[in-house]
Amino acid sequence: FLPHLIASMEQVEETYVMVKPDGVQRGLVGEVISRFEKKGFKLTALKLFQCPKELAEEHYKDLKSKSFFPKLINYITSGPVVCMAWEGVGAVASARKLIGATNPLQAEPGTIRGDLAVQMGRNVVHGSDSPENGKREIGWTYKMTQDTSIVEVPCRLRTQRH
Ligand code: IDP
Ligand code: MG
């Protein structure tokens, strides 16, 4: 009965999940949403959003010293992202499990990155790593952003690019 007791003590949390520009361009938004819906989490916020450079740098500020940081900022600001808040018991850790390891080649099959990606720099989705960061990230990208204008999705342009 111990696992049940521990589970019942777990908190209802909100986590921030973001489909990154590659996921939006590849048409994987529905796939990502579907996995969180099927798991049983509740979608409480959703927004298509073009992340400004300053916000991307704030979002990934812990990685500032890394050699891949400039590339990461270019990646995240390269097109619209889909920002979501998902609510549920233990949502933060569970979302990280559904998403899988940072390196898609090491991510287990059955996870989003394990099934849908091959490159660390194109790993489709972001998930908060703690409840505190969940709150913070939801705040700055969704709730605090007043601009609700719809940005153009590069998917429409994809055929013109090649
Ligand atoms: P996470 O997204 O699994 O939480 P973090 O370590 O927080 O992983 O890194 C944030 C993002 O930075 C990753 O999702 C990935 O896109 C990118 N990244 C992390 N490590 C590397 C790397 O070694 N090379 C290239 N990109 C990386
Ligand atoms: Mg992280």
Higher pLDDT, 156 or 1: 1
Helix (H, G, I), strand (E, B) or coil at 48: strand
State residue 139 phi and psi, 5-degree precision. Answer: -60, -50
Other Cβ atoms closer than 10 A to 32: 23
Report how many domains make up the chain: 1
* pTM (2 d.p.): 0.87
SS3 117: coil
Give the distance (Å) from ligand 2 centre to CA of residue 159. 32
CB count within 10 Å of CB 118 equals 11
Find the length of the chain. Answer: 162
Ligand 1 atom at minimum distance from 129 CA: 4
Question: Cα of 88 to ligand 1 centre, how many Å?
Answer: 25
Q: 3-class DSSP state for residue 82?
A: strand
Q: Which residue's entry shows tokens 């409480």?
A: 44
Our mutation pick for probing the ligand 1 site, out of 120, 125, 129, counting the most ligand atoms within 8 A of Cβ, is 120
- Residue 153, domain CATH: 3.30.70.141
Calculate the average pLDDT of the chain: 87
129 in contact with ligand 1, CB cutoff 6 A: yes
For 24, the token pair is 């939006």
Name the residue range of residue 152's domain: 2-161
- CA-nearest of 73, 99, 102 to 86 is 99
Give yes or no for residue 126 CB within 6 A of ligand 1. yes
The yes-or-no answer on residue 126 being catalytic is yes
Q: Active-site residue among 4, 59, 126, 162?
A: 126
Residue range 89-126, pLDDT digits in tens:
999 999 999 999 999 999 999 999 999 999 999 999 99
Give dist(CA 57, CA 21) in Å, integer.
16
